[in-house]
């Protein structure tokens, strides 16, 4: 089965789809190892990992596609990706869809922010007119070679205009061809339920579970009860990794040894197992034996 088809079936399945975010091949592998049925490539995490800077539109389309290709190659589950605003006008969106599709991803989301975009839970965002986003969605759906390649429309209008405007936009986005609605930053259970009541019959709904953001923390089961189909944990893994690195490096800098953090590290054997050293060794023996 194509990964695009597999991704669609997971979205449309009876259980809510839990999507954990990664930012490189290793994190993608760990998501799959943990039982993740899909891998999400987080734009925020990639931006911070590549540039060491916040998610404010610094990462280019080619940087994101290159990283996506690496993650796709590392796992056997579908990968879907953050494609920011589509990196420009509808013509740029065409190129963006073509590039991500060639990289092997199962779908992307594009958002209705102005450029330069910002993390959906940052302040001082702007959104483009609804008609402009509609044209981008039309361009995206026209550009895909595989009809199962999923186009996810994200609206950030809740934080910029109003809840009502954000909901109204989503009807237009579905009419333009969006396969899934990503409604960013509802602020309460009541708002989540209202979104699901208004839009749940229009398209599958994706909720974003960002720690410290505008949306309170709920479980996947609770999101399912609200009427959502996908729940995204975009940067939890990256933040855990960054915190671990910060603590380990500080320990070494202070003490001159890693002895105090050995229990927090993979063992030599665990690292080799995680990275598939045995398989590489077997290949070396196969092609170097007489």
Specify the number of domains making up the chain: 2
What is the predicted pLDDT for the residue at 115? Answer: 80
Catalytic one of 112, 184, 191, 229: 184
Q: Domain boundary at 219, 235, 251, which?
A: 235
272 shares its domain with 145: no
The answer to whether the predicted template modeling score (pTM) of the entire model surpasses 0.75 is yes
Q: Could you confirm whether 263 is annotated as catalytic?
A: no
Q: Are residues 200 and 269 in the same domain?
A: no
Q: Can 82 be counted among the known catalytic residues?
A: yes
In this predicted structure, what is the pLDDT of residue 6? 98
Quote the domain boundaries for residue 185.
3-235
111 labelled catalytic: yes
- Residue tagged active-site, from 111, 112, 191, 229: 111
121 is catalytic: no
Per the annotation, the verdict on 109 as an active-site residue is: yes
Q: Is 55 labeled as catalytic in the residue annotation? A: yes
Let me know whether 51 and 181 are in one domain.
yes
Note the pLDDT of residue 56.
80
Do residue 73 and residue 172 come from a single domain? yes
Domain boundary, last residue among 199, 216, 235: 235
Candidates 8, 112, 119, 144; catalytic one = 119
pLDDT attached to residue 116 = 73
Catalytic one of 8, 24, 32, 55: 55
Asked if 283 and 196 sit in the same domain, the reply is no
pLDDT at 234: 96
Separation between Cα atoms, residue 200 and residue 213, nearest integer Å: 23
Output the pLDDT for position 230. Answer: 98
Average pLDDT, consecutive stretches of 10 residues, N- to C-terminus, the chain (290 residues): 97 97 97 98 93 86 97 98 96 98 98 78 81 98 98 95 96 98 96 97 96 93 98 96 96 96 94 92 84
208 is a catalytic site residue: yes
Same-domain pairing of 200 and 273: no
- Is 142 a catalytic site residue? no
Of residues 8, 23, 24, 40, which has the active-site annotation?
40
């Amino acid at each position: 089965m194509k990964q695009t088809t597999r991704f669609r079936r997971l979205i449309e399945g009876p259980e809510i789809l839990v999507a954990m975010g990664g930012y490189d091949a290793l994190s993608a592998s760990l998501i799959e190892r943990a039982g993740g049925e899909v891998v999400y490539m987080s734009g925020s995490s990639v931006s911070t990992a590549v540039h060491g800077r916040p998610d404010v539109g610094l990462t280019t389309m080619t940087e994101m596609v290159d990283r996506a290709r690496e993650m796709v190659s590392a796992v056997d589950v579908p990968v879907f990706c953050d494609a920011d605003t589509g990196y420009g006008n509808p013509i740029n969106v065409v190129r963006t869809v073509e590039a991500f599709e060639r990289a092997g991803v199962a779908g992307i989301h594009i958002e209705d922010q102005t450029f330069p975009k910002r993390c959906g839970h940052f302040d001082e965002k702007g959104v483009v007119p609804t008609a402009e986003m509609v044209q981008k969605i039309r361009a995206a759906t026209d550009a895909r070679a595989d009809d199962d390649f999923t186009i996810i429309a994200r609206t950030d209008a809740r934080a910029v205009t109003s809840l009502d405007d954000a909901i109204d936009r989503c009807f237009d986005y579905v009419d333009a061809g969006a396969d899934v609605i990503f409604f960013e930053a509802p602020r309460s259970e009541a708002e989540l339920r209202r979104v699901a009541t208004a839009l749940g019959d229009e398209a599958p709904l994706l909720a974003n579970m960002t720690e410290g953001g505008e949306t309170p923390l709920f479980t996947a089961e609770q999101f399912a009860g609200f009427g959502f189909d996908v729940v995204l944990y975009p940067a939890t893994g990256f933040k855990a990794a960054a915190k671990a690195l910060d603590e380990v490096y500080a320990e070494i800098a202070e003490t001159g040894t890693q002895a105090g953090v050995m229990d927090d590290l993979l063992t030599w054997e665990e690292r080799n197992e995680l990275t598939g050293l045995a398989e590489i060794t077997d290949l070396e023996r196969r092609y170097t034996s007489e």
